[in-house]
């Protein structure tokens, strides 16, 4: 069970080309120190995702890496 509600976590929306979700998830598994989750985002076409990070440090590292 998640330690606190995801709605209170840091979140970002990203668009990924087909086949690119796996490498992003792999990066999160290797580099995040706290809990994180992702979900298909209901805000646009297929390939849009929301990533949620419990840790602000993980969130910032993810944003810098995705640039």
Low-confidence ranges of the chain (pLDDT < 70): 1-6, 41-45
18 by Cβ neighbours in 10 Å (0-12 / 13-18 / 19+) ranks as exposed
Q: What are phi and psi of 18, to 5 degrees?
A: -50, 130
Question: For the whole prediction, is pTM greater than 0.95?
Answer: no
Residue-wise pLDDT tens digits, 30-46: 999 999 999 886 666 67
The pLDDT value recorded for residue 47 is 83
Joined tokens for residue 66: 């995705």
């Amino acid at each position: 069970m998640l330690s606190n509600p995801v709605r209170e976590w840091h979140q970002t929306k990203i668009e990924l080309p087909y086949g690119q979700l796996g490498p992003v998830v792999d990066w999160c598994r290797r580099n995040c120190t706290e809990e994180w989750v992702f979900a298909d985002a209901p805000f646009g076409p297929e390939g849009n995702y929301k990533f949620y990070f419990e840790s602000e440090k993980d969130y910032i590292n993810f944003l810098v890496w995705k640039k």
